[in-house]
Amino acid sequence: MSDAPAGPDGLPRCPWGLSTPDYVAYHDEEWGRPVHGDDALFERLSLEAFQSGLSWITILRRRPGFRAAFAGFRIATVAEFTDADRERLLADTGIIRNRAKIDATLANARVLAAWAPGDLDALIWSHAPDPEGRPAPRTIADVPAVTSESTALSKALKKRGLRFVGPTTAYALMQACGLVNDHLEACVARSAPKGRGAPSISGSAAGRDQPR
């Protein structure tokens, strides 16, 4: 039996997508849709790192502040941030002022700035599993927090010098960016374009498995 309850419009959705009004548009329009582009993926990777240990709604509500503070998560720009920028970030009440996470984001930008254009996109998407081998989850209990692919992606990112990219964070990235489709079987958003070769989003967004 599926546990996708009906929303105000009568359409079934993943339970977390109805848990707060902030989630409805995010669930319907962003989470699980394919995302491409190094800067867009850098944003999502960074926000997933900031989410670690916190509720995702905390990050989602601060996303405009994060984008302003980190120059739209443009890798080339963030890579040039100075010590003064770091102090500015540590004092910015519009973001999560966690020193380790801020330092990791700045360090990751510097690492990525040395990569060839498209390398981050290619590396992340090379870990997308074959959707034919993934049955649609019927309940939240069917949705994993970590997979062999996310573990491999985490190792690959760490090997290339990135920080705050553990297997759970990597899987949340895979879910949010459409590498996997973890909308429940009965969810209205499950039939939206997903997976390799589907139309992509290249703007700014981020997500996590069953955001809390």
Could you tell me if residue 101 is inside a domain? yes
Nearest CA to 155 among 129, 117, 123?
Answer: 123
Is 102 contained in some domain? yes
CA 205, CA 177: separation in Å to the nearest integer? 9
Q: Tens digit of pLDDT for each residue in 80-133?
A: 999 999 999 999 999 999 999 999 999 999 999 999 999 999 999 999 999 888
How far is CA 144 from each of CA 39, 148, 149, 182, rounded to the nearest angstrom?
Answer: 27, 11, 12, 9
Task: Pick the range with the lowest mean pLDDT from 33-47, 57-71, 74-88, 124-138.
Answer: 124-138
Domain containing 43 equals: 15-191
Question: Which amino acid is it at 207?
Answer: G
| pLDDT tens profile 139-156 | 999 999 999 999 999 999
Instruction: Establish if 210 belongs to a structural domain.
Output: no
Q: Do the domain assignments include residue 10? A: no
Residue 12, φ and ψ in degrees, nearest 5 = -75, 140
Dihedral angle, C-alpha 40, 42, 45, 48, nearest 10 °: -70
Choosing from 16, 23, 26, 171, the catalytic residue is 26
Residue 83 lies in a domain: yes
115 is catalytic: no
pLDDT of residue 206: 33
Residue 122 located in a structural domain: yes
129 in helix, strand or coil? coil
Residue 77: what residue type?
Answer: T
pTM, entire model? 0.88
**In the annotation, is 125 catalytic?**
no
User: Do the domain assignments include residue 3?
Assistant: no
Q: Give the tokens for residue 93.
A: 């009440």
Q: Give the pLDDT band of residue 10 (cuts 50, 70, 90).
A: confident
> Residue 127 sits in a domain of what CATH number?
1.10.340.30
pLDDT, tens digit (0-9, with 9 covering 90-100), for 122-135? 999 999 999 888 89
CA distance 83 to 171: 32
Q: Is 171 known to be catalytic? A: no
Per-residue pLDDT reduced to its tens digit, 158-186: 999 999 999 999 999 999 999 999 999 99
DSSP element (H, E) containing 38: helix 38-51
**16, 56, 125, 171: the active-site residue:** 56
* Mean pLDDT score, 66-85: 99
Confirm whether 128 is domain-assigned.
yes
For the chain, the domain total comes to: 1
Which member of 30, 43, 48, 149 is catalytic? 48
